[in-house]
Amino acid sequence: MKIKLYDHLNKQFGYDMFRIGQEEVITSVLEGKHTLAVLPTGTGKSLCYQLPGYLLKGIVIIVSPLLSLMQDQVEQLKINGEKRVTALNSFLESKERKQIIHSLQNYRFIYTSPEMLTNNEILQKLKQMEISLFVVDEAHCISQWGPDFRPDYLNLSMIRSELKNPTTLALTATATEDVRADIIKHLNLDNVNQLIYSVDRPNIALVVEETTNYNDKVNKLLQFVKQLQKPGIIYFSSKRLTEEMAALLRNNGIAQTAAYHGGMDREQRILIQQQFLHNQLQVICATSAFGMGVNKENIRFVIHFHMPYQLDSYLQEIGRAGRDGKKSIAVLLYSPGDEFLPLQIFENELPSDDQIEQFFLLNKNSNEESLLNLTEIQLRFLTYYQKKYERSEVAKRVKRIRDFRIQYKQKKLNEMVKWVKSTTCRREGILRYFQEQKVTNVKDCCDVCGVHIENYQTYIPENVKGQNENWQLLLKNLLIRGDEK
């Protein structure tokens, strides 16, 4: 089996060796075991289902959280010569979607969202096919987004049952013991082979830079972006600020900078992503919508202008740096009171008592629903639980679920703030959060243990350093070289 695996690894993907965890995960899947794999970011999780796709008889379904991630994976497979791959998502025109659904049996890899799998036409078509592997990529989304932001994630156990419980692979880079239990529960998996690898990325230095106020934070951001090696990503919680800061950076000499957020046109987002991937852009000011679909190995820095509300998200986002294994740095800019922004965001994400009560009094009239000023997230949340519970008790149950989710996120936020304000090793704090222990000493570990920031600054050749002091010698050397030509 091992020789065969390495033969296929080289034949299909051109690699001679597996990265950490890949061989063990692939072997588990090929043995027909339901598998939950936690692999560090940048270790090539997609290979864990793509290689088995060539060895198993039948179709591989990949449930993916983001359209950009799906499109990226599909394009990568096509570049590698795989024609039997498609993505079922809202990008598709009606005619194109009908054509794909009609010919689903002709594909080897089918990428889709949890929402698409609730479409009866698609589900009925898939039930007629042999599904060799059911993959949930970025599986932490089941726990993180399922109960409120993307409730259709909670339907995946039903979907699996409808598809005759195929071998299932759940993949993620970050999952605490509680999140892993959530994933197993909501996928309704029995006898799961859990393959858990360290979340630590020793090549990424961790820095929290405390600032006194907003203006100080902006100045520190400019300073870091000017000094640090590029390319890099800067994360914001505000769409408006991504655009304002991108403009500010361009005005301050960082010309190859662009904004990216979910409110932009699809074509514009794709263009910016491609420009970044092909080194035409050096800095992206983005919301968390940017990242999962970006398969770029040489990102040298990730800066957080706004603090994520949980360490899980933070680790996912900084993990986009240094996938080539080279030195990279993650900087979180913190001002006292920053924690109130995520608190405000997730309290406003879910419906109020009045919205809940009024929604369940309506007769499913869209005109009436619009009067409640519900956001898309609030409407999805209410609609999901409307189908789940009896009408007489639904409002009371939904209020309890909402309160529990807010309390859960507040707990996560408290853990994040505690880590930010900690005076002990930051790497050790993250590992402890994920029930791990720090076993190796890292030279450039974190701001608490010590980081040599010059190791992450834009490279200046040795013969150019100190040129202001030695300009006569530098000029003489240039003239001598000119004479030699």
Q: Mind listing the domains of the chain with CATH numbers?
A: 2-196 (3.40.50.300), 204-338+421-456 (3.40.50.300), 341-413 (no CATH)
Instruction: Decide which of 22 and 267 is more confident.
Output: 22
Is a pLDDT exceeding 70 seen at residue 186?
yes
What does the DSSP 8-state code read for residue 459? P
Cβ of 429: how many Cβ atoms within 10 Å? 19
Cβ partners under 8 Å of residue 56, min gap 6: 30, 132, 133
pLDDT of residue 141: 87
pLDDT of residue 231: 96
pLDDT of residue 335: 95
| Predicted confidence (pLDDT) per residue in 436-458, tens digit | 988 788 999 999 999 999 999 98
For the residues 172-178, what does the mean pLDDT come to?
Answer: 89
Distance CA 288, CA 238 (A): 10
The tokens describing 357, both together, are: 């009560």
Which helix (H) or strand (E) covers residue 10, if one does? helix 2-13
Amino acid letter, residue 80: N
pLDDT of residue 476: 43
- Identify which of 175, 138, 174 has the alpha carbon closest to the alpha carbon of residue 156: 138
- The rounded percent of the chain whose pLDDT value lies above 90 is 54
- The pairing of strands 257-260 and 204-210 is unpaired
For the residues 298-314, what does the mean pLDDT come to?
Answer: 94
Q: Residue 304 in contact with residue 235, Cβ under 8 Å?
A: yes
Read off the pLDDT band of 291 (50, 70, 90). Answer: low
Q: Strand, helix or coil at 210?
A: strand
pLDDT of residue 293: 59
Read off the pLDDT band of 206 (50, 70, 90). Answer: very high
Distance CA 439, CA 450 (A): 17
Q: In 362-393, which ranges are continuous DSSP H helix?
A: 366-370, 376-388
- The pairing of strands 257-260 and 35-38 is unpaired
Distance CA 311, CA 413 (A): 8
Cβ of 285: how many Cβ atoms within 10 Å? 27
User: Which of 23-57 are b and which e, b meaning 16 or more Cβ less than 10 Å from the residue's Cβ?
Assistant: bbbbbbbbeeebbbbbbbbbbbbbbbbbbbbeebe
Instruction: Decide which of 56 and 346 is more confident.
Output: 56
What does the DSSP 8-state code read for residue 304? E
Q: What is the mean pLDDT of the chain?
A: 87
Read off the pLDDT band of 367 (50, 70, 90). Answer: low
> Directed axis angle between helix 394-420 and helix 353-361, to 10°?
150
Cβ partners under 8 Å of residue 175, min gap 6: 36, 38, 139, 140, 143, 183, 312
Q: What are the φ and ψ backbone dihedral angles of 459, each rounded to 5 degrees?
A: -70, 130
Is a pLDDT exceeding 60 seen at residue 471?
no
Question: What sign does the dihedral 355-264-45-7 (CA atoms) show?
Answer: positive
Distance CA 236, CA 244 (A): 11
Read off the pLDDT band of 78 (50, 70, 90). Answer: confident
Is a pLDDT exceeding 50 seen at residue 482?
no
Cβ partners under 8 Å of residue 148, min gap 6: 349, 350, 377, 381, 402, 405
Give this prediction's pTM: 0.85
Q: Considering only the C-alpha atoms of the chain, give the largest distance between any 2 of them, rounded to a whole number of Å.
A: 92
Distance CA 224, CA 226 (A): 5
Read off the pLDDT band of 292 (50, 70, 90). Answer: low
Distance CA 77, CA 274 (A): 16
pLDDT of residue 12: 84
pLDDT of residue 479: 46
